[in-house]
Structures are given as C-alpha cells and as structure tokens.
Amino acid sequence: MKMLLIGGTVFLGRHLIDASIERGHEVTLFNRGRHNADLYPDIEKLRGDRSGDLSVLKGREWDAVIDTCGYVPSDVRRSAEALADATEHYTFISSISVYAEFGPAGTDENAAVATMTNEQLAEAEAIDPGERATAVSYGEFYGPLKIRCEQEAEKAMPGRILNVRPGLIVGPHDYTDRFTYWVHRVAQGGEVLAPGRPDRPLRFIDVRDLAEWMIRMAEVKGVGAYNAAGAPGDRLTMASLLETCRDVTQSDATFTWASEELLLEQEVGPWVELPLWLHEARNSIFAVNNDEAVAAGLTFRPVADTVRATFEWDRSRPSTEQLRAGLKPDRERQLLDELHR
C-alpha cells in the first residue's frame, strides 16, 4: 500500500512510519522539513507548506493518507480537498479534547462536542502557521478546533474519513516529556513528590500500540470516529504507575504524597509542571470509553513495557537535555519541605 503522511517526523509520526514499513508499505512524507529532516533517508520526502503551497502533491496518488499535524480547520480543508481525488482514505489525528465535558462513567464517541464562536475561530486561524502547533496545542480552543478539523475533512471526503481521538499518548520520542518525567525522576531515586491520591485512576496509550492500530485501520479503510485512550479496565493508578517505574528502573525511590489541597495552596501547575496530575474534578478525562476502538482491533501492551521503552529512550538522550515538563529539583525540594513541616 502506498501511504502519504502529512507531517510524520515528530513522535507519533515516527512510529507511524515504523509501523508502515514493518507492514510492508511504501511511505511518502509531506512536510516543511523543519523537524528531524535527516530521519528516514530512504523515504521519499515532498517539501511544502500545508498552509499554502500544496503544488507538490498534484498529479500523485496514494492508497491512504494520514494527517498527523492538523490544528486549524483551514489547513485540513486545503489538504483534504487537494487530496480528495488522489486517495481512497484519509485518517485525521484528532483528540479526546473534542468533547465538551467528561463524565466519571466514561465519555464515548456520541458525547456532546466542544464549540467555539466564529470570532474565536478567526483568531486561531490568524496565528502564524509556523507557530500553530505550539499555540493551539496548549490553548483553550484546542478541542473545538480539532472537531472543526474533523468536520472539514468529512466535507472534503464524505464517507472516507477516519477520525482518531487519542487520549494521553506516551512512549519513546515523546517531545512533551509529561510521561517521561515520571520515568526519569523515579529512576533518579530518593524521595519523590507524588501528586494527589495514590489510588487516583490514570489511563494512557503507548504510541506504538496507537500507530500499529492506525495503520491496520488504514489498510481496511476504516471510517468514523474512535476514541483511543488506553486499556479499559486495567485499573492503573498513579501509585501503581510509580511503583512500575521503580521496578523497571530498579531505583530506590520512595514516594511522598502531596494532597490536592496542598498543591493548590502552593500554586503548583497541573499537567505540565506536575505531569499526569489534574484537579480532582477534571480527572474523569482518564475515564474516556474506547470500546469501539477495542472492538476494531486496538490492543495494549503492559505498562511495564511502555515504561521500559521510555526509560531506554530517555537514557539515550544527551545528559544536558532539559525535560520539557515536570518539577524542577529546587521546586520539588521546596514542596517536600513544606509537606514535612
């Protein structure tokens, strides 16, 4: 099968390439060449900007297209329309952030989606194309923009769109370092500040499981919207994750648990400053239902496998490289001292 990846050289994209090659497919990349341009020297690379110049795609055909980096509707509309006669199937990487709210019973694909005004859309579309990924990913309109992107893709290719809505994606080459922070920090050993309740539920999906499933879905031309949020019923908690990190890295880490009240009092930033921690009222995001994806063949490897692969990748990075998420050592020590007082 001939496959075109839009983007494709950052995190999930890299694993999609690996999964495609492993399954015997011919891969072409279309991107600006600004990230990891030297990767995959044997793969065809088409250079262009999806926000404007799509001319390099003219006259070409692919069996399937995967859009890994659509953040604003106008970009997705341009690429989907340009490829409407060039491919039979289009996969768009969306997000569970498309939902208006998350319930403790588990939000499924039929739940109400988030909305935004046309004025807010215009504001997002006005962001410089080179800055959209960062500005939109961490902004309040990330979810509403993603659902608008899904809708634009469907308009361009009715009945040929697979919308994948992942939850927290983790594993090797994760540029956010949200999951990696815990693997890295526990491996260092010593007293580790742990957030919230030890039995607070968590869910995430290994990037390799997600990528392999997406390629299989493209092979059978699967369509519709699917949540991909992590193994259902695995009863993963913050405590069991940290204990798995300790077992895999063979560290001497001990865990001191900070209550949500103390973290709020100390103005600790959830999710980025203290990864995987959210205010208790928002923790239902980890209860998203992905039974439809499981029925369509999505599988999950053991958490220890994910931790081990992330640990090995993290150790391969330069020792001087700074983590992009997580508590700084001085900040962690200050919070631990406050706890002990």
Number of domains in the chain: 1
pLDDT at 23 over 80: yes
Confidence at 131, pLDDT banded by 50, 70, 90: confident
| 32-58: average pLDDT | 92
- Closest of 301, 299, 300, 297 to residue 219, by C-alpha: 297
Identify the pLDDT of residue 138.
Answer: 66
The structure tokens 């700084």 sit at: 328
Q: What percent of the chain has pLDDT over 90?
A: 88
CA distance 311 to 180: 8
Identify the pLDDT of residue 247.
Answer: 98
Q: Does residue 320 fall inside a structural domain?
A: no
Q: Does residue 125 fall inside a structural domain?
A: yes
| 286-297: average pLDDT | 96
- In sequence order, the 6+-apart residues with CB closer than 8 A to the CB of 43 are 17, 27, 28, 29
pLDDT at 135 over 90: no
pLDDT at 137 over 80: no
Spatial contact of 209 and 272, defined as CB atoms under 8 Å apart: no
Confidence at 317, pLDDT banded by 50, 70, 90: very high
- Closest of 97, 81, 245, 221 to residue 160, by C-alpha: 221
CA distance 15 to 4: 14
Confidence at 69, pLDDT banded by 50, 70, 90: very high
Q: Does residue 329 fall inside a structural domain?
A: no
Q: Does residue 119 fall inside a structural domain?
A: yes
Q: Does residue 270 fall inside a structural domain?
A: no
Q: Does residue 327 fall inside a structural domain?
A: no
Q: Does residue 286 fall inside a structural domain?
A: no
**Domain CATH for 48:** 3.40.50.720
pTM over 0.85: yes
Contacts 24+ apart (CB under 8 A), 260-264: 260/195, 260/196, 260/197, 262/335, 262/338, 262/339, 263/195, 263/196, 263/335
- In sequence order, the 6+-apart residues with CB closer than 8 A to the CB of 199 are 237, 238, 239
More confident residue, 274 or 137: 274
Per the structure, the complete domain to which residue 47 belongs is given by 1-166
Q: What percent of the chain has pLDDT over 70?
A: 100
Q: Is 132 helix (H, G, I), strand (E, B) or coil?
A: helix
Mean pLDDT score of the chain, rounded to an integer? Answer: 95
pLDDT at 234 over 80: no
Per-residue model confidence as pLDDT tens digits over 245-271: 999 999 999 999 999 999 999 999 999
**Residue 136 neighbours by CB distance under 10 Å:** 17
Identify the pLDDT of residue 332.
Answer: 98
Q: Does residue 224 fall inside a structural domain?
A: no
- Closest of 310, 325, 181 to residue 248, by C-alpha: 310
